[in-house]
Structure 1
């Protein structure tokens, strides 16, 4: 994982906020420099281009996921408990990094840039390999089904949460959610519980 100095982090955080609100194409290097309180030359020195800055931002936000997945795998927990911890990890990361996932969703859907980003693809592959180890452990113990489509489990987790977030006004009205705190609590409790029950049904043998 690349370590950035304070100025580099200031630039990345300013870029993240602007990319999320204005879009990648709608954000200029000049506006990032202004938001980060640095000059344009410093951005060019550290990152070279806006595309390289986007790549650095996404890697910064995602590259420690494998380490966290490996730590879950090593814990003295049942395979199902590990999966539940993994779901907690996914949800907390998406909630914490809303801006970055908003950017990712747009960039991947438009297919302009990230399809050629090999370093990001490598991080995703490493994360999937770490996740696959947890599922395989459950299968080897006889707890999990053998015919699981492992690759579809993470998008099932993330897709449910992202859909909920992208349709926040609708769900707030439907569920009678009035405050930001109530919204966050609903995600932490009811929505997380629902996702865990869904994934458990996909993984565990029926009684």
Structure 2
């Protein structure tokens, strides 16, 4: 019962924060939508701010773990295969947590103490792993030389934009990012971008990976 109450609060908060914004949502509205007592929010999360902090931390814990798990596969595989798998796993993770992904990515654009902490912990870890993969790929001759910060910007933009602009995706482009087929199709496009970084000798061998 206690776990059910906690989960109902989280589900209600994600929906309301997305539709009304964090500042536009009251604790009473969350409690009403979750059908719980207002006191439960203070008990579990120390208020609305603590609730947002939990959601952001929860999201990035899973996000960073999947990157770390794939990074550990470098001892068995090559850097290009590992980076490709990270991209696919992030796409799947975002799709499985669509509303939370949208909320978290939007909140990260707002300057606050919480987001500064996220920047110095989770996002610094993300940068470390992705930067290391690009550096190793260039060093080992997989990827052409490039300014790595720009590659990181491009990759993160390609991965996150569908969840930062869901209305634009659906209303203007008529792409339904919540549908299961979206991940499969979009992954193929991201593989084309990643394969474009390969040097000529590897590019021939990796073409088949684009259609997997």
TM class by smaller structure: 0.7 to 0.9
2:85 corresponding residue in structure 1: 85
Please give the per-residue CA displacement for 1:133-154, whole angstroms capped at 9, x wherever unaligned.
Answer: 3223322321122324243243
For residues 175-194 of structure 1, the aligned pairs below 5 Å read 183-185=179-181, 187-194=182-189
C-alpha contact 1:160 1:195 (8 A) present in aligned 2: no
Cα deviation digits, residues 80-102 of structure 1 (max 9, x gap):
11111111112112222221232
Q: Quote the residue 1:100 is aligned against.
A: 100
Match of 2:193 in 1: 198
Say if 1:145 and 1:204, in contact at 8 Å, map to a contact too.
yes
Superposed CA RMSD: 2.7
* Residue equivalent to 2:35: 37
1:128 pairs with 2:165: no
Residue 164 of structure 1 and its aligned partner are, at CA, apart by: 7.2
Alignment correspondent of 2:204: none
**Contact 1:153/1:199, CA 8 A, preserved across alignment:** no
Q: Relative to structure 1, is the Cα distance of residues 28 and 85 closer, same or farther in structure 2, using a 3 angstrom cutoff?
A: same
The SS at the match of 1:117 is helix
Which secondary structure state, in structure 1, belongs to the residue aligned with residue 173 of structure 2?
helix
Q: For residues 164 and 22 of structure 1, do their structure 2 counterparts lie closer, same or farther at Cα, with a shift above 3 Å needed? A: closer
TM-score (norm 1): 0.79
Contact 1:66-1:130 within 8 A present in 2 as well: no
Which of 54, 68, 85 is equivalent to 1:70? 68
| Alpha carbons 1:143, 1:205 under 8 Å: kept | yes
Q: Would you identify which runs of 4 or more consecutive aligned residues in structure 1 move more than 4 Å?
A: none
In 1, Cα distance between equivalents of 2:125 and 2:84: 20
Match of 1:19 among 17, 27, 46: 17
Report the alpha carbon displacement of residue 124 of structure 1 after superposing the two structures with TM. 1.1
Report the Cα offset of residue 180 of structure 1: 8.4
Tell me the secondary structure at the aligned position of residue 159 of structure 2: helix
TM-score (norm 2): 0.77
Q: What is the number of equivalent residue pairs in this alignment?
A: 194
| Alpha-carbon distance change, 97 to 45 in structure 1, aligned in 2, over 3 angstroms | same
C-alpha distance in 2, partners of 1:6/1:130?
Answer: 36
Aligned to 2:208: none
Equivalent residues of 1:62, 1:123 under 8 A apart: yes
Distance 1:53 1:35 in 2: 15
